[in-house]
Amino acid sequence: MYKLIAIDIDGTLLNDAHELVVPVIERIKEAKRAGAKVVLCSGRPLVGLRHSLEQLGLLDAEDYAITMNGAIVLKTKSGEIVADSALDKAALQDIFAFCAPLGAHLTYLDATKMYVPHEEISILTCKDSLLLQTPLYYQPVDKAPDDIRVAKAMLLDEPEKIDEVVAALTEELHEKYYIVRSVPYNLEFLHKGISKGTALKQLADSLGIPREEVMAIGDAENDISMLEYAGMPVVMGNAAEHIKQLGKFITKTNNEAGVAHALEELVLN
């Protein structure tokens, strides 16, 4: 029996219309009733998970979520943070100094809000704010509070612009930060050493659950670390081939209720 099941959101839990379908909801509730601790594991903040958590019945006192690609682990009901690995203002200024000359649109997030340092806000940033149900504010980097804790700094731009930024990344930046691209229009900068995988290990250790009893389900680059950690890595049918190579089990696509299929085959049977 897998006692801890970590599930990515976009491209995994949700279909391409960003919806939860009935078979997925039912299988996750069954897995929880069977004794498994189901944890949503996402690049989103908690507020961007709230609707899914409500639908799945994952808002009890001892339910957890891994948010911001591993930067913040918290209890879903109370919002109590149990692990926090954030960037400081100096790191934010460093990242902004790299991105600004390239004309890339930077967004940065604390535990509850999104900020943009540019007077012109890209449509992709607005769409992401709506998708994540997270309030968006204009705040220049130099006006950010000195004690700000930045869960992640993120570029939201056309894929061609993100390609340009990726090509310009220096070895020094890679040494300082964990840099990951989860979708073509996105590039994220997080605290070095932080990922979904490190957060999942930390949570599993705190709960006394061995790696062999951990399952992770994902589809994208930012899921690689948790797939590599989990005793049972499950990869979605819609994932790229190099990510499928990490899976011990390849399930159906997110548009075919692949999470439900994986739980039926590996947990509920």
Catalytic sites, residue numbers: 8
Query: Token pair for residue 88?
Result: 């400081």
| Residue whose C-alpha is closest to residue 44's, from 21, 92, 77, 11 | 11
Q: What's the order of all strands across the beta sheet hosting 152-156?
A: 136-138, 114-116, 106-109, 152-156, 186-191, 177-180
CA within 13 Å, CB half, 41: 33
- Distance from C-alpha of 114 to C-alpha of 110, rounded to nearest angstrom: 7
* Cα 84 to Cα 67, 200, 269, distances in angstroms: 10, 13, 36
H-helix or E-strand containing 164? helix 159-168
Residue reference for tokens 């449509």: 123
Strands (DSSP E) contained in 25-169 are: 37-41, 64-67, 72-75, 81-84, 106-109, 114-116, 136-138, 152-156
| Residue whose C-alpha is closest to residue 66's, from 88, 92, 84 | 84
